[in-house]
């Protein structure tokens, strides 16, 4: 059982927008603005897409955006492209255990 | 360019010891924390522990405390994860990852080291 809860899968057609949620508690997501989102393609290492909840690293497309409300963080991908098909993980700092991860969400581009 | 390069895949028998490595380059190794993360199909990504190579300050997840040892050699910009007695349940992909502090999630990740423990 992962510490943060994500939907197992989401899907969308090219050009559409999708949102992936990441629900934690007041001990992690709800208290700290330290949520990151990672994209992982099969056989590859995770790649940072969003950090501190809303910030995009240099080189990451502005089609990726992050937000937070209460104990839930969200990743939105707009203008879906075939290359966005991957697994996505959220991660938050937690007072109990440093980094806590979500179980991952498989994004399928139809 | 920031890079974390991990050692290659390992196949071990239960009870054997193992030490895998993670070499940092493209940044000041002693100014960033290095964490270790386990990935398995069943449990996903799990934080194992973290070390600050500057002074070897090390912290462990309660789930991994006593099961593994994290260390670093700043003279060669390399962090390590080691086991004294492997179990079949240690079979997983292991990643090292960098963070500017002990709290925020990491920014750069190594390519991963696959550890297989089987008799």
Strands A18-23 and A72-77 turn out to be antiparallel
HEC readout, chain A: CCCEECCCEEEECCCCCEEEEEECCCCCCCCCCCEEEEEECCCCCCEEEEECCCECCCCCCCCEEEEEECCEEEEEECCCCHHHCEEEEEEEEECCCEEEEECCEEEEEC
Res. A17 pLDDT band, cuts 50 70 90: very high
| From A44, A57, A91, residue closest to B105, measured CB to CB | A91
Q: What is the pLDDT of residues A32-76, one digit of tens each?
A: 999 999 999 999 999 999 999 999 999 999 999 999 999 999 999
| A3 at B interface, C-beta within 8 A | no
- Composition of chain B by helix, strand, coil, percent to 5: 10, 55, 40
Residues in B touching A47 (Cβ below 8 Å)? 109
């Amino acid at each position: 059982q992962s510490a943060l809860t994500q939907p197992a899968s989401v899907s969308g057609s090219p050009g559409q927008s999708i949102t992936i949620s990441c629900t934690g508690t007041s001990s992690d997501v709800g208290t700290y603005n330290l949520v990151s989102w990672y994209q992982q393609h099969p056989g590859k290492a995770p790649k940072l897409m969003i950090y501190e909840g809303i910030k995009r690293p240099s080189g990451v497309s502005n089609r990726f955006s992050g937000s937070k409300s209460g104990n839930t963080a969200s990743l939105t991908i707009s203008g879906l492209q075939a290359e966005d098909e991957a697994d996505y993980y959220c991660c938050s700092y937690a007072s109990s255990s440093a980094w806590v991860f979500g179980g991952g969400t498989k994004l399928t581009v139809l | 360019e920031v890079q974390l390069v991990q050692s290659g895949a390992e196949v071990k028998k239960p009870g054997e010891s193992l030490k895998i490595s993670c070499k940092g380059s493209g940044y000041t190794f002693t100014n960033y924390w290095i964490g270790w993360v386990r990935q398995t199909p069943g449990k996903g990504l799990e934080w194992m522990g973290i070390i600050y190579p500057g002074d070897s300050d090390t912290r462990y997840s309660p789930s991994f405390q006593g099961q593994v040892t994290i260390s670093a050699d700043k003279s060669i910009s390399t962090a390590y994860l080691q086991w004294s007695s492997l179990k079949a349940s240690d079979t997983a992909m292991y990643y090292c990852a960098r963070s500017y502090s002990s709290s925020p999630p990491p920014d750069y990740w190594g390519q991963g080291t696959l550890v297989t423990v089987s008799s």
